[in-house]
């Protein structure tokens, strides 16, 4: 097979996708019960300080608030016991020996194998692997290189992180690799263990995230049989700096012991500001991107949006379409999986695409910390 030349950019296709969700599920009721026990324990422990005004009493959480404010009903997690233990509020994930597969590698292998089966490929036919996600469990060696070896994939592999937009940025990187001739078949994996960065003792955000891993395979179109997959008509990325979603965890934390373990070393957000600032940015990016391809919103059969907040998705879809979207037009997976960071829009795509007819158009659109927004226009083949 000859590599495409730069003069004629090769058409690319998403030829397969996969999803791994850990079997353990936490309902809103279970999560709120554990959180409220934590609150009771905290408030009785610090009762005197609360009475003298030295500390503020913590407020309980509520399931009806969670569902109304976010649309989330439950979430899958890698470990349930640790999260629900009011004395711990963090998943139990035992250290593994260096010779064992890492947790993210295992999740990626499960999702990746599904994507290979979907695309009808053997692992050895993949010649680039990108692990694109919000949190990597170690700096090096790259998780992508570990997965590449564990599954027997060829070529090269690397990790990247653009928070909730990691998967769409990864898809653009995959398209670029194919169009520049450095790869023919790229696997983009998003093993998101969001329960590891979530502060389960924070009432404002304890309900937001869940764990999952997605996989997509991007190939040169000429290698994919007619009628299979989705042609990538174009990708568009946008970043705009903001501190409204931030996590200060990092390798320099040890430089100041007083900051270690503080809440800013986990996910922190100004949710309302994010909602207000990001929604219009996303809607206009989708509109501009469609326009640059001679398309309009009414041409879209489906929007596979990032899954952070149901109300936010409804607002974005309304701004894009000029009317309310149906769940058929903008499917929701948030109720079952919560926010799985970069995996969310890909889960929506994976679970809601088999009914599309040849020629149908859709967008995968992610948004999140950075801010970062990624849009991918697809046409069913």
**Structure-block tokens of residue 148:** 């590449």
213 labelled catalytic: no
- Burial class, 99, CB count within 10 angstroms (exposed 0-12 / middle 13-18 / buried 19+): exposed
Q: Which is nearer to ligand COA, 167 or 186 (CB)?
A: 167
CB of 343 to ligand COA, least distance (A): 11
Residue 138 binds to ligand COA (criterion: CB under 6 A) = no
Residue 62 binds to ligand COA (criterion: CB under 6 A) = yes
Quick note: the x/- pattern for ligand COA over 76-105, rule CB under 6 A, is ------------------------------
Annotated active-site residue in 105, 133, 164, 365 = 164
In angstroms, the CA 340 to CA 155 distance is 28
Q: Which is nearer to ligand COA, 114 or 214 (CB)?
A: 214
Task: Pick the binder of ligand COA from 119, 224, 245, 303 (CB under 6 A).
Answer: 245
- Burial class, 56, CB count within 10 angstroms (exposed 0-12 / middle 13-18 / buried 19+): exposed
Residue 307 binds to ligand COA (criterion: CB under 6 A) = no
- For residue 141, is the peptide bond before it cis, meaning its omega torsion is within 30 degrees of 0? yes
Q: Which is nearer to ligand COA, 4 or 368 (CB)?
A: 368
In angstroms, the CA 381 to CA 372 distance is 29
Task: Pick the binder of ligand COA from 115, 133, 308, 348 (CB under 6 A).
Answer: 308
Q: How far is CA 235 from CA 196, 200, 231, 286, in A?
A: 30, 35, 11, 10
Q: Which of helix, strand or coil describes residue 255?
A: helix
Instruction: Look at residues 38, 34, 55 and name the one whose alpha carbon lies nearest to residue 46.
Output: 55
CB-nearest residue to ligand COA: 271
Q: Which is nearer to ligand COA, 101 or 271 (CB)?
A: 271
Residue 274 binds to ligand COA (criterion: CB under 6 A) = yes
Residue 204 binds to ligand COA (criterion: CB under 6 A) = yes
CB of 371 to ligand COA, least distance (A): 9
Please report the beta strands in 24-114, taking only residues with DSSP state E, as ranges in sequence order: 25-27, 74-76
Contact 147, 112 (CB under 8 A): yes
Residue 372 binds to ligand COA (criterion: CB under 6 A) = no
Contact 129, 144 (CB under 8 A): yes
Instruction: Look at residues 52, 62, 366, 73 and name the one whose alpha carbon lies nearest to residue 237.
Output: 366
CB of 279 to ligand COA, least distance (A): 9
CB of 203 to ligand COA, least distance (A): 4
By CB under 6 A, name the binding residues for ligand COA: 61-62, 65-66, 69-70, 164, 203-204, 245, 269, 271-272, 274-275, 308-309, 312, 339, 368
């Amino acid at each position: 097979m000859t590599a495409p030349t730069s003069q004629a950019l090769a058409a690319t296709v998403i030829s397969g996708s996969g999803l791994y969700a850990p079997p353990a599920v936490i309902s809103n009721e279970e999560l709120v019960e554990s959180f409220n026990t934590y609150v009771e324990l905290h408030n009785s422990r610090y009762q005197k300080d609360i009475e003298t005004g030295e500390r503020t009493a913590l407020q309980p959480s509520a399931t009806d608030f969670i569902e109304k404010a976010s649309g989330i009903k439950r979430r899958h997690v890698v470990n349930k016991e640790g999260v629900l233990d009011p004395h711990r509020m963090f998943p139990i994930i035992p250290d593994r020996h260096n010779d064992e597969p890492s947790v993210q590698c295992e999740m990626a292998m499960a999702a990746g194998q599904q994507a290979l089966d979907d695309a009808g490929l053997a692992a050895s036919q993949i010649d680039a692997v990108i692990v694109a996600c919000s949190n990597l469990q170690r700096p090096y060696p790259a998780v992508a290189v570990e997965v590449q070896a564990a599954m027997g994939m060829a070529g090269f592999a690397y990790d990247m992180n653009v928070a909730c937009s990691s998967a769409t940025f990864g898809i653009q990187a995959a398209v670029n690799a194919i169009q520049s001739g450095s790869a023919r078949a790229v696997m983009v994996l998003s093993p998101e263990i969001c329960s590891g960065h979530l502060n389960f003792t924070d009432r404002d955000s304890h309900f937001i995230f869940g764990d999952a891993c997605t996989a997509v395979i991007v190939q040169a179109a000429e290698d994919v049989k007619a009628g299979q997959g989705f042609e990538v008509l174009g990708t568009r990325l946008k970043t705009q700096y903001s501190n409204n979603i931030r996590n200060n965890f990092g390798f320099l934390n040890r430089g100041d012991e007083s900051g270690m373990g503080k809440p800013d070393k986990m996910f922190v957000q100004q949710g309302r500001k994010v909602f207000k600032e990001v929604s219009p940015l996303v809607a206009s990016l989708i509109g501009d991107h469609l326009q640059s391809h001679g398309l309009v919103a009414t041409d879209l059969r489906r929007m596979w949006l990032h899954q952070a907040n149901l109300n936010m998705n409804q607002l974005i879809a309304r701004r894009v379409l000029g009317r309310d979207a149906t769940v058929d037009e903008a499917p929701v997976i948030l109720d079952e999986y919560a926010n799985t960071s970069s995996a969310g829009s890909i889960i929506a795509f994976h679970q809601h695409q088999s009914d599309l007819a040849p020629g149908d158009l859709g967008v995968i659109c992610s948004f999140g910390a950075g801010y970062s927004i990624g849009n991918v226009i697809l046409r069913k083949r």
